[in-house]
């Protein structure tokens, strides 16, 4: 409401400033930033350092890949000439079995493929893919890896009880167990923040490395590391399958066990 006779409105200064301009803005002590800004720039206490998180994931990728290779060696030489994790080859084998009418071989391929599919499905439901976000140490991933470890413990006990010479239905059952474990591991790997580096299927990883080299770029270090781990794990498995076959599953147990320990430890020290 305006004042009569051109007077100054109530609540205003004579020089025309409004009520909000009646005094200087309050500020903190000289040289200090506002408290909200300082709080915003301060990293949360429970956020793990990125370098530490990536280093843990790097070790996990290497350990899991070496274990995978040893299981594939076992599956190929002692469980019917198929693979526990390489589904591309198993799908090719299915075509071969159909054309050659080799029902037993086809059945082994089918068991491996179906078990792997179930493992991926269950694992992805528990811990969905995270793209480039590293979720090592989160509860879903830790539980998924622990479940895989339990499967491999059961497989190892059964393998040793059979003196590393399964036959008939026990061979199919053991193949199904490790293919199920590899499927769940594939899902777990997709939570480790590097889509270029796999632990069970490395054709894409190899393609990425070669493409980088051809383009005169430095290849992803983790991709190179998992390829080396695959070769090392396969070599170790092949050596043991001849001299001490009963011990071969221990390689995979060591790899997955290391990753489980890393995940739960990281969870306790850097809660998400």
What residues have CB less than 8 Å from 27, skipping those under 6 apart? none
How far is residue 253 CA from its own chain's centroid? 17
Tell me which DSSP letter residue 19 carries. G
Distance CA 99, CA 133 (A): 44
- Whether 168 has a pLDDT exceeding 70, the answer reads yes
pLDDT tens for 102-124 read: 999 999 999 999 999 999 999 99
* pLDDT average, residue stretch 79-99: 94
Asked if the model's pLDDT at residue 67 lies above 70, the reply is yes
Residue 39, judged by CB atoms within 10 A of its CB (0-12, 13-18, 19+), counts as exposed
**Four-CA torsion 205, 207, 209, 212, nearest 10 degrees:** -140
Span 75-84, mean pLDDT? 95
Q: CA 200, CA 239: separation in Å to the nearest integer?
A: 20
Task: Kindly indicate the confidence band of residue 196, based on its pLDDT and cuts at 50, 70 and 90.
Answer: confident
pLDDT, tens digit (0-9, with 9 covering 90-100), for 220-264: 888 899 999 999 999 999 999 999 999 999 999 999 999 999 999
| Model confidence pTM above 0.85 | no
- Give me Rg for the CA atoms of the chain: 29
What DSSP string runs through 209-258?
HHHHHHTT-PPPHHHHHHHHHHHHHHHHHHHHHHH-GGGTHHHHHHHHHH
CA pair distance 92, 74, nearest whole angstrom: 19
């Amino acid at each position: 409401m305006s004042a009569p006779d051109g007077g100054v409105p109530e609540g205003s200064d004579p020089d025309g400033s409004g009520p909000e301009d009646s005094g200087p803005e309050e500020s903190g002590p000289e040289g200090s930033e506002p408290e909200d800004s300082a709080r915003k720039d301060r990293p949360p206490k429970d956020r793990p350092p990125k370098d530490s998180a990536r280093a843990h994931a790097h070790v996990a990728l290497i350990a899991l890949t070496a274990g995978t290779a040893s299981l594939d060696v076992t599956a190929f030489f002692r469980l019917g000439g198929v693979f526990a994790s390489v589904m591309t080859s198993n799908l090719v084998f299915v075509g071969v079995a159909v054309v050659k009418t080799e029902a037993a071989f086809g059945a082994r391929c089918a068991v491996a493929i179906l078990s792997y599919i179930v493992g991926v499905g269950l694992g992805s439901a528990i811990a969905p893919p995270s793209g480039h976000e590293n979720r090592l140490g989160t509860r879903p991933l830790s539980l998924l890896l622990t479940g895989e470890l339990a499967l491999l413990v059961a497989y190892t006990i059964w393998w040793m009880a059979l003196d590393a010479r399964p036959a008939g239905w026990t061979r199919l059952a053991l193949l199904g167990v490790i293919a199920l474990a590899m499927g769940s591991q594939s899902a777990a790997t997709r939570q480790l923040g590097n889509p270029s580096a796999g632990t069970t299927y490395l054709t894409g990883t190899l393609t990425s490395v070669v493409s980088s080299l051809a383009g005169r770029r430095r290849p992803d270090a983790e991709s190179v590391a998992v390829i080396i781990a695959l070769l090392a794990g396969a070599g170790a498995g092949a050596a043991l399958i001849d001299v001490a076959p009963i011990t071969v599953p221990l390689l995979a147990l060591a790899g997955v066990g290391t990753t489980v320990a890393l995940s739960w430890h990281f969870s306790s020290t850097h809660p998400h």
